[in-house]
């Protein structure tokens, strides 16, 4: 009776191990005996089973062996310059200048202070025209941005490499008055006012701006 119980238990255990969830693999020179274990080929000598590749016991983090190798990963695409031709680089450079000009005209002119109005008087330009002239002086930086824009970096990252030292942290932002030298003074103001000090509210300078130039 005790032997019969042992046979039943072994049969049940062997059935469970032969399922996909409890697959048993035998090392070289051994064969599965049908009871969830291995015998050496041609004998009834016990042989230690091994974990089958891809079975739950061989997943990552298990102590039964190395994880099963997955499908090879797709290699990342190589970095490539975006603006490959001179025409595309010129177009991107002009777009860069346009973006700088538009942002400066919106923020600097809409909230223009006394210092900005003084510069308008000194240069003889309106605020939008003065900002456009300042943005044009950023052409060299814009050309650098267009040259190095690539598929491996975001637009803001490449922008920071070209404009980060003058306050450019994202595309279109920068202190454009630092791109080049100070704009030249208006010749009418320079010749007729000379060394006379003036202020943004000086009526004398305001009248000069509307006078025809006489050498």
Q: Is residue 180 part of a domain?
A: yes
Query: In the β-sheet with 46-47, what is the strand arrangement from edge to edge?
Result: 30-32, 38-40, 46-47
**Block mean pLDDT (10 aa), the chain, length 215:** 49 45 70 70 70 55 46 66 94 97 94 93 95 97 95 92 95 95 82 51 46 48
Burial annotation 92-126 (CB, 10 A radius, 16+ → b, else e): bbeebbebbbebbbeebbeeeeeebebbbbbbbbe
The predicted pLDDT at position 23 comes to: 64
Q: Is residue 123 part of a domain?
A: yes
Residue 132, in any domain of the structure? yes
Domain range for 135: 86-184
> Structure pTM?
0.54
- Which helix (DSSP H) or strand (DSSP E) does residue 136 occupy? helix 127-136
Same domain for 13 and 52, yes or no, is yes
Mark whether 174 and 99 lie in a shared domain: yes
Task: Examine the domain organization and report whether 94 and 136 are in the same domain.
Answer: yes
Identify the pLDDT of residue 36: 65
Query: What pLDDT is recorded for position 38?
Result: 76
Nearest to 138, CA basis, from 171, 107, 94, 185: 94
User: Residue 7: what pLDDT?
Assistant: 46
In residues, how long is the chain?
Answer: 215
Q: Are 10 and 33 in contact (CB under 8 A)?
A: no
Same domain as 180, residue 94: yes
Our count of domains for the chain comes to 2
Whether residue 7 is found in the same domain as residue 53: yes
- Is residue 171 included in any domain, yes or no? yes
Question: Given CA atoms 174, 180, 181, 182 in this order, what sign does their dihedral have?
Answer: negative
Rounded CA separation 41/35 (Å): 15
Same domain, 116 and 179: yes
98 & 144 share domain: yes
- If asked whether residues 120 and 164 sit together in one domain, one would say yes
Q: Are residues 102 and 43 in the same domain?
A: no
Per-residue pLDDT at 181: 95
**DSSP code of 55?**
S
Co-location of 49 and 125 in the same domain: no
Q: Is residue 201 in some structural domain?
A: no
- Could you tell me if residue 199 is inside a domain? no
């Amino acid at each position: 009776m005790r032997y019969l119980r042992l046979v039943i238990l072994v049969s049940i255990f062997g059935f469970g191990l032969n399922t996909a969830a409890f697959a048993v693999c035998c090392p070289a020179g051994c064969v599965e005996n049908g009871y969830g274990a291995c015998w050496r080929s041609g004998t009834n000598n016990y042989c230690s089973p091994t974990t089958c590749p891809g079975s739950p016991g061989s997943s990552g983090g298990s102590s039964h062996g190395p994880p099963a190798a997955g499908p090879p990963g797709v290699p990342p695409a190589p970095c490539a310059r975006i603006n490959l031709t001179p025409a595309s680089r010129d177009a991107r450079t002009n777009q860069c200048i346009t973006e700088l000009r538009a942002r400066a005209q919106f923020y600097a002119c809409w909230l223009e202070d006394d210092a900005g109005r003084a510069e308008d008087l000194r240069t003889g330009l309106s605020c939008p025209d003065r900002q456009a002239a300042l943005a044009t002086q950023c052409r060299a930086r814009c050309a650098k941005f267009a040259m190095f824009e690539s598929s491996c970096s975001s637009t803001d990252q490449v922008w920071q490499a070209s404009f980060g030292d003058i306050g450019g942290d994202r595309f279109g932002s920068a202190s454009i008055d630092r791109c080049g030298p100070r704009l030249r003074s208006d010749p009418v103001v320079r010749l007729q006012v000379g060394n006379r000090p003036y202020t943004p509210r000086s009526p004398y300078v305001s009248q000069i701006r509307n006078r025809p130039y006489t050498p």
